[in-house]
Structure formats: C-alpha cells, structure tokens
Structure 1
C-alpha cells in the first residue's frame, strides 16, 4: 500500500514538475518572444559588401570594405559545396525545423565529459539567427532566443533561403565573409569552379578559420578536409571513390589578387576621398557601390613606371648618398646572424634587401646577406660612384658624385640574379627627388592616369594635385596665347636684347631687375616662334609688359589657372606657383581647340541594386536625375578661338622640332610641348600633347632645393614624358593636329617677318589667323619690323 502511494506521489510530483517546467517555458517564451527581432527583416538581407572601383574598360582596380563579402545567389552555389557545409556543420539540416535536439543532447554530453564547452549543438538555422539577429554573447538567454528565432525562420523561409543567408554571411578567415570571397581568397576562383576537394576545405573552416587556415596551417586544413569528406560519405552525399579522389587531390592555394593595380594608388585615393566626402565612410565601406572611372590601366602603369625610372636615372646622375649605417665587428656578426633566420633561402630576384659590405674582389664589391655572399659590380649603376675602403675609415666624398665607404657598411641592394651559391647584386637607394605625372584626354577631360609621387606606400602626398610649384617657362605659352589675341603673330619680330627694370621699395630704395636668358646670352632680332622654341626669357618679359600684367592674369584664369598670380613682370617667367593639374587644364584648352574643360575621374556610380547614382551620360537619367541622383556635367566653355588655340599648338610644335622640347622628336609624331625650369633648377617640367592625349611631367624635391647643375625640364622631366608616350602611342594610329578654317599659311622671311616669294632660299611657311598675315613683302624694306620697347617707354613717358 505504501509502495503504491509512494509511486503515486512520485508520478504526481513528476507531472507537477513537468507542468511547472512547461509553464516556466511558456512564461519565458512569452516574455522573450515580444522582444525578439522580426524574422521578416531577413527577406531584405542587406549585409555589408565591398565597393569596387573600375577602370574605363571595367577592370576592378581597387576595392573598399569593412567585411570583404560578395553576395552570390543560391543558384550559383554548387550543390557539393552546400552538402559539404551541411555535412560538416548540421547533418540533419534538411530534416529538422530549426532545432536539432539530438545534436544539442550529444553536444551537452561531450561537453560534460570534457569538463567544458568543446562542441556546440547549434544548427545552421541557429547560426544564421545568431549572426544576423542577435548579439554574440555566450548566455543561456541568448541560446533560448536563438532557438525561438530558428524555429520562426523555418516557418517563414525555405531551406535554400536559409542556406543563401548562411553561405553569404559566414566568416571564413583572412577577411573573407561568405563562400565567394573565400573561394577567391584561397583558390583564386568563383564558387562555380570549385572542386570537391576545395569545397570540403572551405567547409572545414567555420569551426576555427585561423586554426585551419590553408595559408598558415595547410596540414591542419587537410586533416579538417578529410573529416568533412568522411561526413559527406556517411551522409550519402558522395561515394567512397569520390572521397578517395578528393582526399588525394593536391589542392593548390592561390592567394587572391588584391585587386590593387600596381601604381594606381594615387588615382584610387583621389576617388576614395571624393566618395567619402560625398557619401560618407559607412556607405563607402559597406554599401557595395560600383564606381566606374576614367583610368586607363595601361596608361596608369606606364605613367608610374616612367616616373620611377626617370627618378632613378636622376638619382644616378646625382650619385650615391652613402650607406644606411656602419657596423662594428660585433654588430656585424649579430646583424648577419639575424639575417640567417630571415633568409633561409636566397632572396627572390628583384627584391630589395640590406647587406653588409665586407670587401672587394677585383672590380666587384663583396656583400654578405646572412650566410649568403653577393657580388656587386663596381662599374655599373650607382656602384660606379662607390669606392670601398678598409674598416674604421669614415665616409667621405672623393670627388663630385663619388663617395668612399668602409667595410662594415650596410647597403641597400637589389637582387639581380639569385642562386644558392652566389647572388648578383646592384646598388640601390630610394630616390630623394619626387615626381608627378598627369595624363588627360584633352577633349573629354577624362583623367587617364595620375601619379603623385615615386611610391604611394612611402608618401601619400599627391603632388599632381596638392603640390603648388613654380612652372618656370612652362607658363610662357599662356602669355603667348594672350599676346596672340592682342595682335601678335608667330612672325612678329621681337628684340632679344638686354633690358633693365627699376622700381622703388616702400622705403624709397631703388631696385634693379635684369631679366636674362638661361644661356645668359642674347639673340637680337628674332620671331615670336623662335623666341618660344628657344624659351627666350627677355622676349617674354617684354611681351608681357606690352600686353599688360592684368590682362595676362585674367587670360590665364580663364584658361583654368586658379592659384594666385604675381601682378608683376616676373609672371612671364613662371614666378607664381600652380599645381600640375592646373597647368594640365590650361594646356587642354590649346589641345582641344579653345574649350576649357574640367578634369573628370568618375563616369558612373551604381548602387548595389543597379540604380545609377551619378553619371556623365544623360541617357542614364531619361526623365532627369532624381533628388539623390546626379548628372556629372562637363559644361565645356569656349574661352579662346580655335585659331588662337591652333597657333599656340603650332608654336609648341616648333618647341619640339627646333627647341628645348627636342627629346619628344623621338616619337616621330605630331607633338606640341614646352619645357619649364625654375631658378637654380628647383623645378623641372615638361607639358606636351598629341592630337588625342596630353601629359604633364614634373620633377623636384619636396623641400625645395636644386635638382643639380643642368637638371632642366628637358633633362629632368621630359624623359619620363617621352618614355610614357613611346609606350602608349606605340600601337595607336597617327594623327595630325586639325587646322581650323580660319587659319592661313603664308611664305615669310624670318629675318623681317614680312612676306617673301615662295621660291626664296630662306622662306618659312608661317601660320596666321585670318586677316593677321603681313601684306608687305620683305623687299619693300630692309629694316626688321621689330617692336622697340625702349622707344615705347620713351613715348609713354
């Protein structure tokens, strides 16, 4: 009797506990349920995705993101990849309704036996709920919420919908979120191209992406892959033969191309700054914008290489500056011992490393790199300026650009040939000077290439846009253009003769200014064309005095110069600082026939849904742009006549064919250009253009100092321009500069600037705007019709 009563009490107690548990669970559900996020929000899944920057042909040149994620629809994800993740993470995924009680129980038992948390029992659905709807805190309350949300998700979403969320959201190591980003990261492929072995390796990552990283721990990744394949076999997704083939597959890891085009950093940084200023950092890094730019990848790479090669040549001309440091015997032993661990294998060809100079052998210096020995020929490159002395002597200059350094010196060297036995080296030093390079389509304003310095990783200062430097003689074409619109012609006779300008300071002190030419000599009678071709300073100053400084300044501003300009005659010699981009904009007016345009970097911006936010094409906004859309207007403005623009271009062709721009003749094409050199050779320029392309090259030191004797625009800047143009114009058709209808050609005597019979021995065919050609012949007068500025001054006084 007592036994029966005891059994009843136990049963009723169990029932009571069960009902109490149910009531508590129901109460907890009621309390928690109302505060849970809506599962419906997952239908509009909008995770952070990368913003991509594209070149003019659609190539991805850069990307910005917080989480590197590329959304892929479930139909693109191969079933074997899905099966691999399901087998590894949630083998009953296709059977349960969000919660797998058996997996939870099994995980609980294992954790109890292990004395801590070793295995989780969360389903794929629960992982999605945790990732997208909850915080990552490790509490029972969170697990309870996770289970409720997982059950709700299974009611609202299909299995494929849940897999789409899971496989695009999950973190798989090395900055990759989702299977597409991971496939690119580890195998350099799209998900559709993955083999079974690769699928299994990816599916092994979620448990511990860093522990099973194929980059860092390939053996561990292989063991985890084998586990995934065995689970796929057990669940019936693959056959034993498929498993064995996949296990034996020698998976090759191909690190993702980081999609940063070499040498494009200055351009993409300019685009990034605009996007951040316009849309904000959050949108830039999470909204998945597609930004299409004007950059030509080939031109960009050619421009960067041309700048670097040119600066290295300049550095070579200036000579070796000396070792990085000098070590005593004890320091040298420690340094080489440390290098032995750094270089267990010989450094790769082309790499830059530090080595210790230990002595000479014949005409070679001997350099140690760890346990390796390198040979540095002393008759090549920078090493031609190097003299090796015994340990303990000091570094000193032997003669101009030749320097002696002692044994024990640490040198930076480049690996020219690499082997276990010996290394062939060349002496290297980072150029001290800097350069800038801009390439524009003068007709559209599209920036095709932009280089702001030798190396973006060393200096992010963009000298092409942010630096303001004296243009020197590169400013003269703007003065000449202004003079042509004041009645001058290419045949106008000028006097290249000495002149003295006197002025008084505020304290009454009289000062003199004697402008002089670079060669410090005077030519006498010369035509305007010859004066520009040979960059005569005095002629330009006299011409500026005649047309007026105020007029010239206003003229330069309408061409695109925005920087303040000196209101004195030194303006003729480029004494006012401008940016390379300003100068490029002004020259575009000459190159395109007289129209001012603004430089353009971006042609189109599209959001993640394919909606156009900005575009240069009105067809993208058939009904006009909405409030959050923008038509990028070029708004071209004619600022000078086609005839004046052509005459300047024609004059600048003479600079190339007869004058200081002679290096550009190597292209054997129609080229117009102008060199620029400032006092003491602190800045060197070459601005030039073909009928379809304009480029600006600048060289100088950030902290202004001389580039060195004879380092003019022709020598220091023009070679980069020529290198670039030879590369990009090589396979392009040849064009001539178009001649406007209002241009006339007449036979001229260059000694007088007057007409001359066409069969005369010294005839020059000169270009004139309609109605400006001389009407008299040179035989009618024997005196050159030069402008006498001394007489003008007397008449004015």
Structure 2
C-alpha cells in the first residue's frame, strides 16, 4: 500500500512538474514572440533608405572660385558606386564582410566563426556584423549597446537586403561610414589622407582605407603609419584569400610607398568670422537642414588671399601690441604627476604629424639647461628647446628647477610651467624643435576690407581667435570712433563753404557742457599751434580746430550729414562729435569711407554673389549693384586729397609703406582705449580697430598710428600686391592753386613756403597776399 501510494505521489509530482515546465516554456515563447512583435511594430522603415541622400557638405567659394569654407555636420562628399574603383569596394568587403555577396543580411557562418574565436581567446576578439547590419545600425538605429538593438539590427538587415541591391547597400555604406580625421565616406577619406579622389587611389591606399573602420583613430596613417600598415597588410591578405587580388599584387602593394599628402584643408579658422557672418544669413534664408546637409554651393565676395592676409596681419599686430604690455607669465603651474595627462590632452588636439612652423601651441617646461640659458619644453609628445634669445622680449626670466608656483610670479619659469610657444623650426623624430616664447593677446582687433566699386566684402576679421570668442567685433562692437570720424565732419564743412586753405585758430577754448560746467577740448599732444589751415588741422589731427569747425557748421547739420553716409548707429548732435564721440562699428565706419574712395558714390554692402543647390539649380543670384550718389564727387576728392596728407606727413605715416597713393585717417580715443586706422586706395578700403573688450588703456604706444596703422599696412602690402597702381582721379570741377599756408590766400610763384592746394571751383581764395 505504501509502495502504491509512493508511486501515485511520484506520478502526480511529475505530472505537475511537467505541466509547470510546459507552462513556463509556453509563457517564454509567448513572451519572446510578443517581444519580437513589439520590436517589429516599432522598427523604422527600411524602404526610406532607397531614396536616402546622405548629408553633404555645403561649400563656400571666394571671388576667384577657390574653396574658402565649408558648412557641415559630417564632412562627406558623396560619390556613386560606379565611380569607385572595384578593388576599393572589394577591399572593404574582404575586411569587413567577406560573405557580403552570398548572405541575405546576416552571416550565420561568420557568427559561428566569431563565436569560436572569441571563446578560444576568452575575450571578444572578432565581431560578426555584416555590412548590411552596419548600415542599419548607423542609419536607422541608435548606438546603444543592448541585446534588443542587436535583434532590431538583424531584422532590419534582412529587410534591407530584400529592398535594396548589393550595390545600393554599398553606396550607403561607403558614403556613410566614418573613417577618421573628420572624414565620412571614402571620398572625404581619400582627400583627408592622400589628397586624391577615390578613382585615383592605388591598391596600397585602398587597402589602407579599408583597414580604418575597425578603429579609425588608432589606425590613422597620419598619426600611426606603422599601425596603419599592419592593418593594410591584413586587408591585403584577406583580399588574396577571397580571390580579389593575387599574392603578387598584394606583396607589391605592401611594398608601395605610402605618401601622406592630405588635400589642403579649408582653413575655416582664418575665415571664421567671415563665414559666421555668412552662416547667419544663409541659415535664416535656407534653414539648418539645407545648409548643413544639402550640398549648397555658395559663391561669395571674399578674396581668399586678402582673407588670409587679414588673419595673419591681425594676429601679428595684436601680438606686437600685447608684447609691449609685458609678459604676463605662465598660464598655470603643474605638479610632476599632472604633466603627463596634460601633455596627452594637448597631443589629442594636434592634427599633424609634425608641429607646424609659425603655429602657437601650449607647452610644459620639463627641464632647463642653465649653462646655455635654455628651457626644455614638451608639446604633446614632442620636445624642443626654448632659447634665451627666443624669449628675450619678456625680459630676463629666472629658471627654477622645481615644481610649483614661484614667488616671483611672471618673472620666473619653473618645472611644470604651462607656457605658449610658437614653432621656429619643427621637431625631427619628436625631438629638437626650436620654440619661441609667446602669449595669447588679451587685446582684440577687427579688420574690414571692402571693394568700393562693387560694395563687396573682401575680408573680415572680428577678433584674435574665433574659437575663444565668437563675438564679431567688426560688426557687433560699437566703439568711439575718435579722430577717425573727423573726415566726415570735414566733408560736411566743405559742403558748407570751407576749403582746405581756410584758416582756423588753434588756441584754447571752452564751452558750457549743459550741466553748469565748462568743457575744454584738448589736443592729443597738448600743443597749441595758432592759425592753421584745415589741411594742417586734419593732417595732424588737431582736436580744437575740429571742434571749432563743428561749431561753425552746426552739430545738427554734421550729425545729419553723417547719417546720410550710412551709419545705423545713433549719431549725437553735439560738439563732441567733432572728436569722434559716436559709438560705431568698424563695418559702419569703413563703409562710410568707401564713399570717399568711390567719388561720392556708395554701393550696398554685399557678401553673396550666387547660391546653387547640389544639382546646380540657382537659388539666389546677386543683381548688378546700383551706385547711389551720397556726396558730391568734388567733395569726395578734396577729402581724399586731405587724407593723403595724413599719410604723407601726418599721424598715418606708417601707411605710406605700401608705396602707392593712399588716403587715410588715424583715430585715438581718450586714454587710448580705442585705436583706429581707416585707409584706402581707389580699389580697396580697409578699416582696423584695436582695443580691449572691457575698455582700458592700450598704453603709451596705443594710438591709432602705432597700434592700428601697422596692421593696416601689413595687410595692404599683401592684399594689393597684384593690383595696378592707381591715383585718385580729380573731377573736372576741381582746381589746384598755389597758396600761402600761413594766410590761406593765393600765392605767386616763388613765394617762400607756398604750397599747391586743391579747391572745388568757385571756392578758391579771393586774392593774393597783400591785396
């Protein structure tokens, strides 16, 4: 009985257990099925990839058709599969998905092979994602590392193979894939590493590109050529195994010299402020998607050579101004344990195989040769010498062979000092670079160059470094114009009947300021010259004479005159306007001077000449600009002639180095907080402003002639090199007569000190001396 009871109990237990197991299995199957259906219901549609257009770079061209900038989220240049060499395609297939042409989206054999290798090595040594899976992962899914994503990836890969041909899948893959160096797709990568189009690549280069997907940065031929060659060899052997090339071809490719000649990258840095000004206009009109992904072709008024010269001149000029203020000392002081992490971070930001001559980098002092007075400086993973001669501008710096901040602050260098150095000569095998001590200027500048005959903006720089400050001082900064505003006041005076020969007393004067106090204008040099002509007053920027001219013509009239010259900023109608007490942008002031350069005519400022879409359809075309008369051509010429004296013998004499007819005016505000020079030749008007963002004095050498004119001169020497020399054409209604500058009257031949002066006909002096 006990035995029967036991058997019955066992049977019942087994039945219950079996039912439980079946139930669990059913639940699991139903759950899995439900989960799969849940995933299927939420999967993206693969058929949209049939019409998929990868994001394409929008390109910006200068006035000569050269590429000057790019807008993109991913730097990609799309090429059809039929333009790609067959062996390039085969190299990627051999390296990434050998069974690509035989599987239907999932490579089951590859999965088993990878699993075996991974188990044998006890780590994940090999993946098994097919090219189709990689396409769905990058284009339809998120990069999350979850089991659910792998299921989605596999399902979508199967669907993708049903919808698209193998070549269509390769088109997506080879144009979409990231290959390092900021390059997406094989064309951008071919340019980035070899300076070629894909159809020009040899087998060695193709195999090297095909080795990049596994780890683009680790196998970069720019930074890690030996590792890139190892990976290249692997790809070539895979191609031999798959029958794509012979062993002889592979061996020849392995021996082929790899020349890393990256296609010269567009230097967005030197054009950054110009491009940002352009970007704002384009994004407003065409939207983000079309600008960053649509492959627009944007043709601009920028001249690439001038823009490069503007960038270099501003940086050189600001460094000179900044160094005159003295050395501020190291940026910070590192401990011994902090040096290595800091250098590794610096190295990550260096995109070249060797340090570039003339470039500035952050370095760390890691040693001294006190006998020679040298510091050993490490920049990333490279080392070089900072000689005593190459840091002489900072004065004598004490060298302290210990870590930590010194008591003498900026008069000392310690081990671990983080300093700015520029490269005098690059290193060889990461050793032996020659450095010069540098520092990033705190002072800022803006430069604007405009063609007065078209209104086209040729170059623009809005600050020292766009990466550190996107504030565009050329357009957004409103600063007192100082004496650079005087030519506008003098032009208004000419139209009121005054002439270059008009005599005005340079003597102390005072005016009520409206608050019960008296305002006493002062000359910059503190000297009173007595009776002077208008020409002499502008040549030497005599403040008191300018105020008296303003008093004579009336401040409201002068302010209205200035407004008609195109200023959008508020122009104050008071006597202080004679000294430039108007806050204007460099763009506004430079644009006003184009009227003087263009015989009284002004053309609307322009930056875009044409925009086309990726198919060549014209979306925007600039019309022929129509000049608008603003002031009389005679007035324009006389003011220009007066400003030629400013350059020839006055405050703007540094601009005369360009060796051709130049007109211009300096400007320096109270306490030298703003320094200006606006100057021009008939073909080009350029304005330069220098100052601190938070207003403070530029110091003893911070006048417009000392701080801004040298930047202007360096830029113009490069910018006008290929332009023919032109003089300013005098209108028929302008006459030249001999005058006595001490009386302002006509002078006869042979009169001592007599000078030739220009007049608008009908405004000449009425008689000779003594009459």
TM-score (norm 2): 0.82
Distance (Å, rounded) in 2 between the aligned partners of 1:315 and 1:171:
42
Q: CA deviation at 1:640?
A: 0.8
Q: CA deviation at 1:79?
A: 2.3
- 1:56-75 superposed matches below 5 A: 56-75=63-82
SS of residue paired to 1:778:
coil
Distance (Å, rounded) in 2 between the aligned partners of 1:431 and 1:172:
36
Which digits, 9 at most, give the CA deviation of each residue in 1:331-354, with x for residues without a partner?
5x5567878989999987655423
1:443–1:367 Cα change, 3 Å: same
Partner of residue 604, structure 1: 610
Q: CA deviation at 1:49?
A: 0.9
Partner of residue 28, structure 2: none
1:699–1:357 Cα change, 3 Å: farther
C-alpha contact 2:450 2:684 (8 A) present in aligned 1: yes
User: Aligned match of 1:299 in 291, 296, 306?
Assistant: 306
- 1:527-542 superposed matches below 5 A: 527-542=533-548
Does 1:704 pair with 2:695? yes
C-alpha contact 1:316 1:381 (8 A) present in aligned 2: no
Distance (Å, rounded) in 2 between the aligned partners of 1:177 and 1:346:
24
User: Aligned match of 1:99 in 97, 100, 104?
Assistant: 104
CA RMSD, 1 decimal: 3.8
1:564–1:37 Cα change, 3 Å: same
C-alpha contact 1:676 1:684 (8 A) present in aligned 2: yes
User: Aligned match of 1:367 in 366, 375, 381?
Assistant: 375
Distance (Å, rounded) in 1 between the aligned partners of 2:464 and 2:691:
11
Partner of residue 310, structure 1: 317
Does 1:692 pair with 2:683? yes
1:409–1:211 Cα change, 3 Å: closer
C-alpha contact 2:610 2:618 (8 A) present in aligned 1: yes
SS of residue paired to 2:531:
strand
Distance (Å, rounded) in 1 between the aligned partners of 2:185 and 2:345:
35
User: Aligned match of 2:721 in 727, 730, 733?
Assistant: 730
1:306–1:217 Cα change, 3 Å: closer
Distance (Å, rounded) in 2 between the aligned partners of 1:324 and 1:35:
52
Partner of residue 624, structure 1: none
Does 1:488 pair with 2:479? no
C-alpha contact 1:290 1:608 (8 A) present in aligned 2: yes
Partner of residue 279, structure 1: 286
1:326–1:760 Cα change, 3 Å: same
1:208–1:415 Cα change, 3 Å: closer
Which digits, 9 at most, give the CA deviation of each residue in 1:332-387, with x for residues without a partner?
x55678789899999876554232786954xx644344697956426964233657
SS of residue paired to 1:519:
coil
Instruction: Give the unaligned 5+ runs of structure 1.
Output: 1-24, 397-402, 619-633, 781-797
User: Aligned match of 2:254 in 247, 250, 266?
Assistant: 247
Distance (Å, rounded) in 2 between the aligned partners of 1:395 and 1:141:
64
Distance (Å, rounded) in 2 between the aligned partners of 1:201 and 1:326:
42
Q: Number of residues paired by the alignment? A: 713
1:177–1:316 Cα change, 3 Å: closer
Distance (Å, rounded) in 1 between the aligned partners of 2:118 and 2:316:
64
Q: CA deviation at 1:669?
A: 1.1
- 1:542-561 superposed matches below 5 A: 542-561=548-567
1:91–1:308 Cα change, 3 Å: closer
Q: CA deviation at 1:746?
A: 2.3
C-alpha contact 2:330 2:413 (8 A) present in aligned 1: no
Partner of residue 260, structure 1: 267
Greater Cα offset, 495-504 or 365-374: 365-374
Q: CA deviation at 1:584?
A: 0.3
C-alpha contact 1:169 1:177 (8 A) present in aligned 2: yes
TM-score (norm 1): 0.80
Which digits, 9 at most, give the CA deviation of each residue in 1:700-744, with x for residues without a partner?
111111111243111121111111122223343211011122222
Partner of residue 720, structure 1: 711
- 1:126-165 superposed matches below 5 A: 138=149, 140=151, 143-154=154-165, 160-165=167-172
Partner of residue 664, structure 1: 655
C-alpha contact 1:495 1:525 (8 A) present in aligned 2: yes
C-alpha contact 1:187 1:254 (8 A) present in aligned 2: yes
Partner of residue 14, structure 1: none
Partner of residue 354, structure 1: 364
1:74–1:307 Cα change, 3 Å: same
1:223–1:325 Cα change, 3 Å: closer
Partner of residue 531, structure 2: 525
Partner of residue 187, structure 1: 194
1:211–1:306 Cα change, 3 Å: closer
Distance (Å, rounded) in 2 between the aligned partners of 1:696 and 1:775:
38
Instruction: Give the unaligned 5+ runs of structure 2.
Output: 1-32, 348-352
Q: CA deviation at 1:483?
A: 0.9
Greater Cα offset, 492-501 or 678-687: 492-501
C-alpha contact 1:320 1:385 (8 A) present in aligned 2: no
Distance (Å, rounded) in 2 between the aligned partners of 1:182 and 1:292:
25
C-alpha contact 2:456 2:606 (8 A) present in aligned 1: yes
Q: CA deviation at 1:573?
A: 0.3
Q: CA deviation at 1:558?
A: 1.0
C-alpha contact 1:357 1:411 (8 A) present in aligned 2: no
User: Aligned match of 1:429 in 439, 451, 473?
Assistant: 439
Greater Cα offset, 116-125 or 642-651: 116-125
1:240–1:374 Cα change, 3 Å: closer
Q: CA deviation at 1:119?
A: 7.3
Which digits, 9 at most, give the CA deviation of each residue in 1:280-319, with x for residues without a partner?
3232221111222222222112122222222222233322
Which digits, 9 at most, give the CA deviation of each residue in 1:627-674, with x for residues without a partner?
xxxxxxx45321111111111111111111121111222222100000
Q: CA deviation at 1:67?
A: 2.4
